Amino acid sequence: MRKKERAALVAELMEKTYPDVGCSLTYSDPLEMLIATQLSAQCTDARVNIVTKDLFARYRSVEDYANADINELMDIIRSTGFYRNKAKNIINCCKKLIEVFDGEVPDTMEELTSLPGTGRKTANLVLGDIFHKPAVVVDTHCIRLTNRIGLVSTKDPYKIEMELKKIVAPERQLKLCHQFVHHGRVCCSARKPNCEECPIHEACKQVGVK
């Protein structure tokens, strides 16, 4: 099976199995999505959602973050890990949003990745979920599943993103990445994948491998 054919079958089976899966972060506007995604680095979405409940109540605008007391901000986000760097990046990110982008979250990869604390994963989430543009979000689940299934043969996030853009239809890219996250959590775990009950087994190169 060619990679493009395998990708199409994977997307079809994922849609049948997880039709309602989307981003698991809680947000209500582009700025909240940007902040939540920055906090999600090396942290679970569930933990981020707990933290942002208080965070978003305390800081309501880009100006609030830009003018935040860094020690107070660190205290609020401490449980997400790497909180010193995250607090510093959030403040500097929002300062740049004000200085360069009139306080608005930009809608291009180049502009988003120019913001402190914003890599391609964060940028793609914002581009896809906020601005509804084709986007490939490469996280640990995506890396693991795309290699296991046989869609890619690299662990490099950038190379995976570029490869998936070639073989997955633009309108399916973002949702498929969200479905990878859900599938990785409920079935294809890192330690013990449940191949016997996997709903996409027929599209996986692991079929028949013991």
From 3, 86, 139, 175, active-site residue: 139
| Side chain identity at residue 44, one-letter code | T
The pair of structure tokens assigned to 179 is 């479905």
Does 139 qualify as catalytic in the annotation? yes
**Taking the mean position of all CA atoms in its chain, how far away is CA 179?**
11
Name every residue whose Cβ is closer than 8 Å to that of residue 48 and which is 6 or more positions away in sequence. Answer: 25, 36, 39, 40, 80
Does 69 qualify as catalytic in the annotation? no
- With tokens 């692991």, the residue in question is 206
CA angle 106, 116, 47 (to 5 degrees): 95
Long-range contacts of 128-131 (CB under 8 A, 24+ apart): 128/173, 128/174, 128/177, 129/22, 129/23, 129/33, 129/174, 130/30, 130/33, 130/105, 131/107
Rounded CA-CA distance 166/169 in Å is 8
From 45, 121, 129, 175, active-site residue: 121
Rounded CA-CA distance 104/102 in Å is 6
Quote helix, strand, coil % in the chain, to nearest 5: 65, 0, 35
C-alpha distances out from residue 77 to 31, 46, 118, Å: 16, 13, 17
Give the catalytic positions in this structure: 121, 139
